[in-house]
Amino acid sequence: MKKIIFLRGVTPTGNNRIPKMSYLVEILTEVGFLNVQTYIQSGNIILESELSDEEIRKLVHDTILDKIGADLSIIIKEINQLEIAVQENPFDNTYDSSRIHLVFTNEDIPESTLTELSRENFGDEEFYGGHECCYLYLPRDARKKRLNTNYLEKKFGIRMTMRKLSVVDRLTKLYSEKIRQN
C-alpha cells in the first residue's frame, strides 16, 4: 500500500538535518520499502509497503536515526486523506495561498480543543479544524507567528507537523503521476 510520510523536525543544519534526499531514498529502499520518492528537502516521502502504519513509523524512524542520526517524528497519511485535506481547505482565493498551512498528526484531534481554538482570536492569523488536518492562515513572517507547530502540539498534547498547502497539493499530484506510471 502506498503511504505519504511527513518527517517532523527536519532542519537545514544540526542534528535533525537530512543531508541528501537521495540518500534517504537509498536507505529506505535498503530496508525494504518500495518505490521510494521524496519531495523537497523538508522531509516528504512517498513509499509503498505492506507493513502496518506503526511498523512503517518505527522502521522509518529507526532507519533515519541509525543511518543519519536524526531523531524525527514520523506522520503517516494515505493519499485520500491528503486529497480531502486539500479539497476542504476553508480559505478561498482572496487569501494568499502561499500563506495557507495544513497541520497533520497521527492521532485523533480532541474536538473540545478544536472548538476552543476555533473561538480564540489570533489577530490576523486564522485557525480552522478539519476532518483530516488543521488549517492555518499565517500572513506574517514565521518568527513572528503565534500559531505554529510547537504551540499546537502543546495545546493538543500530540505530535504534529505543518506543510504548506502547495506542498500537500504537489504531493497528491506526484502520487497520482506515480499511479499512472505503474
Q: What CATH number should be reported for the domain holding residue 43?
A: 3.30.70.1280
Q: Which secondary structure element, helix H or strand E, spans residue 67, and what is its range?
A: helix 53-67
DSSP strands (E only) in the chain: 2-8, 34-39, 44-48, 73-77, 100-105, 126-129, 134-137, 160-164
Both 67 and 143 in a single domain? no
Residue-wise pLDDT for 24-48, tens only, equals 999 999 999 999 999 988 899 999 9
Strand partners, 4: 46, 77
The verdict on residue 67 lying in a domain is yes
Final residue of a structural domain among 77, 108, 139:
77
As a whole number of angstroms, the distance between CA 76 and CA 58 comes to: 11
Identify the pLDDT of residue 178: 61
Final residue of a structural domain among 56, 77, 98:
77
pLDDT, mean of residues 144-158: 89
Both 94 and 123 in a single domain? yes
Q: Is the whole-model pTM more than 0.85? A: yes
Domain count, the chain: 2
As a whole number of angstroms, the distance between CA 181 and CA 60 comes to: 25
As a whole number of angstroms, the distance between CA 96 and CA 139 comes to: 8
Both 20 and 70 in a single domain? yes
Q: Which domain holds residue 28?
A: 2-77
The verdict on residue 129 lying in a domain is yes
The 10 Å Cβ neighbour count of residue 60 is 25
Residue-wise pLDDT for 69-108, tens only, equals 999 999 999 999 999 999 999 999 999 999 999 999 999 8
The verdict on residue 177 lying in a domain is no
